Structure formats: structure tokens, C-alpha cells
Structure 1
Amino acid sequence: MNNKILIVDDDPRNIFALRLTLKSRGYQIESCTMAQEAIDILQKDNGFKVVLMDMMMPEMDGYQAIKIIKDIPSTSKIPVIAVTAQAMPEDRQKCLDAGAQDYVSKPIDVDQLITAIEKLP
């Protein structure tokens, strides 16, 4: 079973909390704090079950990063779940339009996140 998750968030506290939660459920976690770094990681290893992408980051935001990930043939099939503090209905749609498979708002509801991960193919 593929259980590798890439967490992309510019706040190390968010990564720390998600890493603990997901590791306790048997997932292997890799993380980074920059979108470009995430793209580089995925190009070297496209064996991730899912990417948890923070949408608001400096330099390159999650919207730009998802578009790039989806445009690269070797990474285009990796599902991305948008993770954002922006919780308006239009924000959810904007994330899905950018290519995210799902959307989870911050503060993260762990059960909602696990459900979103487990329903992926």
C-alpha cells in the first residue's frame, strides 16, 4: 500500500502537527516549506499517495505549484489536497479549479483530512 505523503507548508508548526498525526496512523511523511522544493521532490520520487499543499506560501503559492505539478507528466497523476486558512466556498472552488483533488481548511480537522486521504484511489 502506498502510504507516502508530502506535506508542503511554510509554517514548520503545521508540518510538525500533521507529521505527528499522520505518522501515528501509519503514513510515511516527507515535508518541505517551499513549493519549488515540493516540485523538485516529486520529480525525483513520484511514488507519493498524496501531496498536502498549503495554498498561501511566499515566492510560489499553492495554486501555481499545483498547476506546475499537474503539467509535468511524471507528477500529473499525484493527487493534491489543498490545505488553506481561506475557508469561503469560492476558495474551495478556486483550489479545485487549480487541480486539487480535495480541500481541507485550517485549522485542520484531522478526521476530515484522513477521510479525504483515504477516499483517494
Structure 2
Amino acid sequence: MTKVLVVEDNPMNMELTVDLLESYGYEVEQAEDGSEALDIVNENSNFDLILLDIQLPKMDGIEVLNHLKKSENSKNIPVVALTAHAMRGDENKFINAGCVGYISKPIDIHEFKKTVTYYVDS
């Protein structure tokens, strides 16, 4: 079964994201901040995809991404930025930082499914 880690501090965004992913048949784990996400990945690196909010408390998403990409356990797990940052150049900034893709919030349900499916099936 496809396993996705969602790193999101907003409860409403987390609920929507998890509900969507579970409706697609994916197994979902949740982390509310970067340090929790890193702990989860260190304990279990069998994720097929990580959806990473960029604006997180304590440690921002770019810092979390840097830790993920440096770790042998997680460096090959595709990470998609999931963020309200939707200014020109933001997508390139996150791709250059090491994300494989970008989903802007609020989530467009149809685009979300296409994007997630693309990275899970790649």
C-alpha cells in the first residue's frame, strides 16, 4: 500500500489533506511540525511521498527538507511542497531546495490528485 507522510501544522488543512489521500486508498501518517516529521521518518523510512508544508512552527519546511535530503533513510523519498506561498518564483525556490513538486493552498482537489498520483507512480 502506498504510504504518505503529511507535515502540516494547520488542523483544517491536515484534515482535508488526509481525507483526500485516504479516499485515494493511501496509508497516511501525520506530523504537526518538522521535528515530529523527522522523528517519524527516522523510525520508518518506508514512505512513498512526503507532503511538506513550508510554513511550520519551530523549524520551517526548507530546514526540514534539508535534514531529509541529508539522511540516508530519507534522501530518496520524493518531497512535494504543500504551501500557501504562491508568489511568482516560489515554486522554483522550493524545487531548487530539493522538492520534486509544488502544491499551492488552498488545495485544488483535482490538481492535488493529479500531482500526488504523478509522484507516487513515478
* Class of the TM-score when normalised by the shorter of the 2 chains: over 0.9
Deviation beyond 6 Å, 4+ runs, structure 1: none
2:106 match: secondary structure = coil
Aligned to 2:98: 99
CA distance in 2, matches of 1:43, 1:87: 30
Q: State the alpha-carbon separation in 2 of the partners of residues 68 and 35 from structure 1.
A: 10
Q: Identical aligned pairs, as a percentage? A: 34
When normalised by structure 2's length, the TM-score is 0.93
Mapped partners of 1:43, 1:113: distance in 2: 27
Per the TM alignment, residue 19 of structure 1 is displaced from its structure 2 partner at its CA by 1.0
Shift of residue 79 of structure 1?
A: 0.5
Counterpart in the other structure of 2:46: 47
Which residue identity does 1:12 align to in structure 2?
Answer: P
> Across the two proteins, how many residue pairs are aligned to each other?
120
Which residue identity is paired with 2:109?
V
Partner of 1:89: 88
Give the TM-score taking structure 1 as reference length: 0.94
Residue of structure 1 equivalent to 2:111:
112
Deviation at 1:24, TM superposition (A): 1.0
- Which residue of structure 1 lines up, in the alignment, with residue 68 of structure 2? 69
TM-superposed deviation, 1:89: 2.6
SS at match of 2:89: helix
RMSD: 1.0
- AA at the equivalent of 1:92: E
2:20 counterpart residue number: 21
- How far apart are 1:74 and its partner, in Å? 1.2
Alpha-carbon separation, structure 1, partners of 2:98 and 2:65 = 6
Stretches of structure 2 lacking an aligned partner (at least 5 in a row): none
Letter in 2 for 1:40: D
